[in-house]
Amino acid sequence: MKIIFFGSSHFAVLSLQALIESKHEVACVVTQPDKQKGRHLHFTGTDLKDTALQAKLKIFQPEDINSKESLKFLKNLEADLFVIIAYGQILSQEVLDIPKIMPINIHASLLPRYRGAAPINWAIINGEKKSGITIIYVTPKLDSGPVILQEEVKIEDKDTAVSLEEKLSRSGARLLEQALVKIDNRDYRLIDQDEAKVIFAPKMKKEVGLIDWNASAADIHNQIRGVLPWPGAFTGLRGKILKIFQAEILSIFPNHRPVPGEVVRADKAGIVAACGRGFLKINELQLEAGKRMSAQNFIIGHKLFPGDILGKK
């Protein structure tokens, strides 16, 4: 089959590589335009563009995928299939009608759960024990098309959004290979999603990372894992932002009935803070304008004492 691949994030790279190594023809890779990044604001392409360049594939980077120019370009390629994964623009029905067979999307959740831009983050934030990959026939309504294939992936207690993305990326590439065989052989079923089970996963915003110490230790632990790499979990310490990258749950702490956010231990044994229910042992953190470091190293260079209240300005 002749395929046009749409994608922009690192999550799509393994799927593109699997496609390149398959018997199918990658007619073009469609990805977002280069953007200015870094201190010097150099224009930088997406991770997917780098992979396409290495494979010497044709690359298309339209500002508007639904423009007349884009439609003309895509139609001229005469593709059998569109493969779309974390592309970053909504495709119009006119664009979706272009491939001879169908457009398919690889989505990082067990649809209809977690439709939207940040399914990996929200699955962890909400304390889910499993996630997965779903390949759907694409329709204009967000992530709502009928399911072609689906595969579960376990969420481990130590998984972060970063590690889960890597696992789902591998699963997505593997499942894409299976889907292509089924589509090429016309051996597939389209299964409608159950609209009664829909959960949405909106785009991450900075405020999602703000820790509410009145929440349980389990909920805050899930938040810390789920908001990586951005916006990251953060709180306040004496008027400065304190980022927390890694922590673990303690259900009890001896002889203490503290207020939420209170530091109950700050020594070489670690930093422990009280939550609305339970305690959190903070293992890796970073104070505003400082370096990311272990709790043990943090104690050496910063004044933090039992009785200090995190989140208090």
pLDDT of residue 297: 95
Region of poorest pLDDT, from 169-178, 212-221, 251-260, 290-299: 251-260
pLDDT of residue 304: 93
Q: Which is more confident, 163 or 303?
A: 163
pLDDT of residue 254: 74
pLDDT of residue 39: 61
Region of poorest pLDDT, from 165-174, 221-230, 261-270: 261-270
pLDDT of residue 142: 93
Q: What is the pLDDT of residues 228-247, one digit of tens each?
A: 999 999 999 999 999 999 99
State the chain's mean pLDDT as an integer. Answer: 95
pLDDT of residue 128: 98
Residue of 257, 112, 104 lying closest to 183 (CA atoms):
104
Q: What is the pLDDT of residues 26-73, one digit of tens each?
A: 999 999 999 867 665 667 889 899 999 999 999 999 999 999 999 999
Q: What is the pLDDT of residues 270-290, one digit of tens each?
A: 899 999 999 999 999 999 999
pLDDT of residue 269: 84
pLDDT of residue 251: 82
- Of all residues in the chain, what percent carry a pLDDT higher than 90? 90
Q: What is the pLDDT of residues 76-129, one digit of tens each?
A: 999 999 999 999 999 999 999 999 999 999 999 999 999 999 999 999 999 999
pTM score:
0.94
pLDDT of residue 38: 60
**DSSP symbol at 204:** P
Long-range contacts of 243-247 (CB under 8 A, 24+ apart): 243/285, 243/286, 243/287, 243/292, 244/211, 244/282, 244/284, 244/285, 245/284, 245/285, 245/286, 245/292, 246/282, 246/283, 246/284, 247/220, 247/221, 247/280, 247/281, 247/282, 247/283, 247/284
pLDDT of residue 157: 95
Average pLDDT over residues 171-185: 97
CA distance 60 to 70: 9
Task: Kindly tell me the burial class for residue 207, based on how many C-beta atoms sit within 10 Å of its own C-beta (0-12, 13-18, 19 or more).
Answer: exposed
In the chain the domains, ranked by start, together with CATH numbers, are: 2-197 (3.40.50.170), 206-301 (3.10.25.10)
The pLDDT-based confidence of 313 (bands split at 50, 70, 90) is low
